[in-house]
Amino acid sequence: MSPKKNDPVAPPTIGEEWHVRYGVTDAVGGWQELENRAANNLRAAWETMRHRPGAGNPTGRHHPLGGRLATAVRSGRVMPRWQIEVTGGDRLWYLLDVEKRAVWVDYAGAHPKVTE
């Protein structure tokens, strides 16, 4: 997805930061909806993905997904999928790409039924 006129400019990564990228087009709209509902929480989630996406001590609000949702394939490689609880009813899912030091947001929105 290429930036276009009027799109926000992402800050460059520096030091040990990770790239935060959209992995699927649907995540773009979901991200914008979350920004409208819970901008402060979404910013905190973004900071987590930028600085410590595979945190050593998972919490109830930030952890790897389990079962069939635990991994996904991107660019021919299997990657772990993590979740951040943005609000009680909103979630972010992302793939952890250690090789490229990037996270790929593959879901942003209301709590998906598939995890129930």
What residue type is 11 in one-letter code? P
Q: Is residue 57 part of a domain?
A: yes
What pLDDT score does 19 carry?
95
Q: Is residue 7 part of a domain?
A: no
Span 90-103, pLDDT tens digits = 999 999 999 999 99
Cα→Cα distances 6→9, 12, 56, 71, 98, Å: 9, 18, 37, 34, 31
Give me the CATH number covering residue 81.
3.30.2310.20
Q: Is residue 5 part of a domain?
A: no
Span 53-73, pLDDT tens digits = 997 777 889 999 999 999 999
What pLDDT score does 58 carry?
79
Domains contained in the chain, number: 1
Cα–Cα dist 7/50, whole Å: 20
Give the pLDDT mean for 41-55. 94
Q: Where are the beta strands (DSSP E) in the chain?
A: 19-22, 62-64, 71-74, 77-87, 90-97, 102-110
Q: Is residue 3 part of a domain?
A: no
- On the question of pLDDT at 2 being above 90, the answer is no
* Residue 34: domain span: 19-115
Q: Is residue 1 part of a domain?
A: no
